[in-house]
Structure 1
Amino acid sequence: MADCRLYLVTPPALEPAAFAVTLAGALDGGDVACVQLRLKDCDDDTVRRAVDALRPVAQDRGVAFLLNDRPDLARETGCDGVHIGQKDTPYKKARATVGADAIVGVTCHDSRHLAMTAAEDGADYVAFGSFFPTTTKDVEHHATPDLIAWWSELMEVPCVAIGGITPQNCAPLVRAGADFLAVVGAVWNHPDGPGAGVAAFERAIADAAGEAAAG
């Protein structure tokens, strides 16, 4: 089983300079594969300023930096790629915009069909969710660990699990074969700070992976 890694998603609103310090603390807390900048209801210049402040924090640490929804701005601002939803830019247009070497990930909710289509089109990863209740966004789709297990057995394209994931509830997803856990509140709102939140996930992932290997 491949190692499961953390995929951080930013809060929907932030002050770039202050959050750059917060992000650095999180990334220094443990293993993080990717950071997705996900701002809502912002104009383009606000997104550009946030990318300029946060992208170097991630990339200087060898962490991929993705932009949500906007392949045009992702390419313009030097991001490593883009994450698109089913109601955003179509995959093929996003790929054409960011180029062959960039990362393009696709939200697939709880749908095997959407995931198969995204993988066949060439997506670098598919994202399933929501697995647990979340306050980050309105949840229309509910996924279960058996979807992760089915995907990981059948496909080589990595999968991301998202939606209300915490160190306390992530074990079934890790054991099912999730390649990445996408996390928002459980890291940024951790009582001991984001770095401690990342460290808590790292321990939980290692414990669950160990149980899976032993089992």
Structure 2
Amino acid sequence: MINKKKIKEGVYLVVDPQMQKTVLMNRLKQIMDKSEIAAVQIWDNFKNADNKISLINEICKVCENYKVPVLLNNNWDILKQTEANGVHFDEIPQDFQKIKKKISSNALLGLTCTNNLETVGWADKNNLNYISFCSIFPSSTANSCDLVDFEIIKKAREITAMPIFLAGGIKPSNMHLLKELDFEGVAVISGIMSAGDPAVSTENYNSEFKKIKNENFNNR
């Protein structure tokens, strides 16, 4: 049984449901077979998906075998129709208390934060399970996000114990620039799903993340 109320450290994988289905599923299985994943988020990009619920449940089935939680991006209204474990909101949802009553009390909930610490405070007050800062670096898949001031992330750690993930333009080659920050993982889409070998790419991200965590631990 997946622990829906706690998210692991490491790579938080975002998948695009517009990707050709066979390719998406094959890549997801390759990654799961060889790498540790904190969670999988299904991006809210269903413009041409033939059967949204069926696709979500196929992704959930793969992830369930590896005890990896699956989150829907924004689509809380279909959560109960799927095997997904939670919802990631891109912004503070209106009528959040009403939404909570309509979804499982075990649902894993996350929120994107930018440079506004009030958003962090809201997430902490409402007992969300994690937050994700976007965008850390310039990114084609996070082009709607402003670049985040690292000082904001440092202040966020002072006001919340929630797991913090970082997203947007992060590559294994620039992760060393994050070593001044205290965070639980990185959210990645194209850096893994578009890689020649997605499993190897995932391991590269995991390796760099572990280096940062070990270095920060040793410097305490």
State if a TM-score over 0.5 links the two structures.
Answer: yes
**Residue of structure 1 in register with 2:13 after alignment:** 8
Gaps of 5+ in 1: none
Work out whether 1:214 is the aligned partner of 2:201. Answer: no
Query: Are positions 1:85 and 2:122 aligned together?
Result: no
Whole-Å separation in 2 of the counterparts to 1:23 and 1:189: 11
* Alignment pair present for 1:120 and 2:125: yes
**TM-score, normalization by structure 2:** 0.86
Identity of aligned residues (%): 21
> Partners in 1 of 2:82 and 2:24 — Cα distance?
18
The alpha-carbon distance between structure 1 residues 99 and 204, as it changes in their structure 2 partners (threshold 3 A), is same
| TM-score (norm. length: structure 1) | 0.88
- Matching residue of 1:29: 34
- Deviation at 1:111? 1.2
Match of residue 68, structure 2, among 63, 68, 72: 63
> 1:47 Cα deviation (Å)?
1.8
1:79-104 Cα deviation digits (max 9, x unpaired)? 10011122755533332222211111
- Of 70-79 and 195-204, deviating more is 70-79
Q: Distance in 2 between matches of 1:22 and 1:44?
A: 18
CA deviation after TM superposition for structure 1 residue 179, in Å: 1.3
Q: CA 1:176–1:98 in structure 2 vs 1: closer, same or farther (change >3 Å)? A: same
Which stretches in structure 2 are left out of the alignment for 5+ residues? 1-7
Deviation per residue, 1:135-181 (Å, 9 max, x gap): 11423421133322222233111122111111112234354111121
SS of aligned partner of 1:170:
helix
Q: 1:98 and 2:98 equivalent?
A: no
Are residues 188 and 99 of structure 1, via their aligned partners in 2, closer, same or farther at CA, if it must alter by over 3 Å? Answer: same
Match among 153, 163, 184 for residue 168 of structure 2: 163
One-letter code of the match for 2:208? A
- Aligned pair count reads 212
Return structure 1 stretches of 4+ with deviation > 6 angstroms.
none
1:99-135: per-residue Cα shift (whole Å, max 9, x none)?
Answer: 2111111112221111101210121111211010111
Shift of 1:44: 8.0
